[in-house]
Amino acid sequence: MSKYGATKSSKYASKREARRAQELLLLQRCGDISEMEEQVKYILVPKQEGERPVTYTCDFRYRQDGKIVVEDAKGVKTQQYVIRRKLMLWIHGIRIREV
């Protein structure tokens, strides 16, 4: 069990994330989405002297109807996640889809 009660499922952090991965793989096989990637990292604040960079790693990124979709399978929305979600929108102009 993880800190927030999620049970790991194969290579995924939670059963929710594993289910969503299977759904997206089916959608990709059907041609509804394309270019699906997992665990894509975005830099929110670059590395500075004496400090590590601040990053956000999404669960899934794919193309749907010509647009890039960044998705996160969320159970618990931590304060850290909410801040990073807002930074993704402000810095990269990307609104994270939560499932």
26 in a structural domain:
yes
50 in a structural domain:
yes
Q: Where are the alpha helices (DSSP H) in 1-99?
A: 15-30, 79-87
2 in a structural domain:
no
pLDDT of 89 reads 98
9 in a structural domain:
no
Q: What are the pLDDT digits (tens) for 75-84?
A: 889 999 999 9
Please report which confidence band the pLDDT of residue 24 belongs to, taking 50, 70 and 90 as the band edges: very high
pLDDT of 75 reads 86
Count of domains in the chain? Answer: 1
User: What percent of the chain clears pLDDT 90, i.e. is strictly above it?
Assistant: 85
7 in a structural domain:
no
Cα–Cα distance, 80 to 76 (Å, whole number): 11
Whole-model pTM: value is 0.86
Tell me which residue range forms the domain holding 49: 15-98
8 in a structural domain:
no
Cα–Cα distance, 17 to 8 (Å, whole number): 9
